[in-house]
Amino acid sequence: MTKKKSPDLTLSSSWKNLVNKKPKKQSIRSGHQRKWLFGLKFFSLAIVLAMVGLVGYFADKNLGETFLSSDEEFHGVSPSVDRIDFTSDGPLNLKWFMNWFGPMRNRSLMDLDIAEIHEALVSDDQILTASVSRVFPSTLKVVLKERHPVLVLRLKEAPQEYSDWLVSENGVLYKGVGYSSSRLAHLPSLKVLPKQLKFNPANLAYEPLEGMVHVSPLLELARREYPDIYKDWLVVSYERPYETDPGAHILIQTSRISKIRFSPTAFADQMKRLRYLLSEPKFRTKSKIRSIDLSHERSVFAKL
């Protein structure tokens, strides 16, 4: 009799192949997706926060003052200008500016054309540079740098009519405003030949005097280091004051000396020789001196 075989209860290798591994792969893939989405959200949030920070920084930076170059539009209600912050290194002051500009008429800062005000200011020959800015909420700030006169030029513009023009160190001629008569009285006068003046009918002014930049250093040196000599200088004239011109010279007339001749170089050495010469007894006691010529290097020629 054939013996029945007992059933084999051990798992064959075929059962192992029936294990479903797909859900495990999906689980791994889902974990990677969640990490990727979290990183993307974090990166996006960082960008948004950075942009907000930059906007806040530039907003704070531009809140205080709006300078000449800013032409941005401003929408909303702005209070009327209630203060003018005005400074200048010359005689022009706040009263002058208010007369020059006129009434504000309840205008706000944004009603004012900053560029137009700037252009109008620098078109005045007395003003060298100008800075115009808005200081919110209601202050207009104006800072000027003015030209400073070194000479006075008196011109005859009509029969029996004369006008005084101030001469800056670079030769600009302008009608001075705000200067005291005492200050102008201490400036020497400039004497020029007609050919040295060039009138510009377009702006009713004279072109800058050619050559003044070579004369101004002598005036500044004398004023700063030799005030006792400079205070007697009455009239200054020059012709072709260039180093390369053998006939170049600058002439000074003083209350004692009819003519002092300088060459347009080595002003410090020439002023030292002049000081030494005027300290000599025969020159110190002389009330009038005809001429002193300092233009020949170390040699000095004088006529009593």
**pLDDT reading at 72 higher than 50:** no
Whether 240 and 106 map to the same domain: the answer is no
What is the DSSP secondary-structure string of 208-258? PPTTHHHHHHHHHHHHHH-HHHHTTEEEEEEE---TT-TT-EEEEEESSBS
Please check whether residue 222 lies inside any domain of the structure.
yes
Chosen domain end from 146, 164, 188? 146
More confident residue, 56 or 139: 139
Structure tokens at 18: 């029936």
At residue 40 the predicted structure's pLDDT band, cuts being 50, 70 and 90, is: low
* Residue 44, pLDDT score: 67
Is pTM, for the whole model, over 0.85? Answer: no
Domain with 163 in it: 149-303
The yes-or-no verdict on residue 294 having pLDDT over 80 is yes
- 46 pLDDT exceeds 90? no
Residue 303 C-beta-side C-alpha neighbours within 13 Å: 7
- Check whether residue 253 and residue 140 sit in a common domain: no
Of the residues 96, 123, 146, the one at which a domain ends? 146
Confidence of residue 38 (pLDDT cuts 50, 70, 90): low
Residues 169 and 261 in one domain: yes
Is residue 5 situated within a structural domain?
A: no
Q: What is the pLDDT of residues 177-204, one digit of tens each?
A: 999 999 999 999 999 998 899 998 888 8
Examine the domain organization and report whether 202 and 157 are in the same domain. yes
Q: Kindly tell me if the per-residue pLDDT of 67 is higher than 50.
A: no
Question: Quick one: pLDDT at residue 33?
Answer: 62
Mean pLDDT of 156-179: 91
**Which of 221, 197, 223, 210 lies closest to 170 in space, CA to CA?**
210
- pLDDT above 70 (res 28): no
Average pLDDT, the chain: 82
Residue listed under structure tokens 């009918």: 201
Residues 157 and 225 in one domain: yes
Q: Give the model's pLDDT for residue 247.
A: 79
Q: Which of 201 and 267 is assigned the larger pLDDT?
A: 267
Question: What is the number of domains present in the chain?
Answer: 2
pLDDT digits (tens, 9 = 90+) for 230-251: 999 999 999 877 767 777 899 9
| Residues 104/36, Cβ–Cβ less than 8 Å | no
In a domain, 281, yes or no: yes
More confident residue, 292 or 203: 292
The H helix count followed by the E strand count for the chain is 9, 15
Which pLDDT value is given to residue 13? 46
pLDDT of residue 27 exceeding 80: no
From the centroid of its chain, how far is CA 110?
Answer: 24
User: With pLDDT > 90 as the criterion, what percentage of the chain qualifies?
Assistant: 58
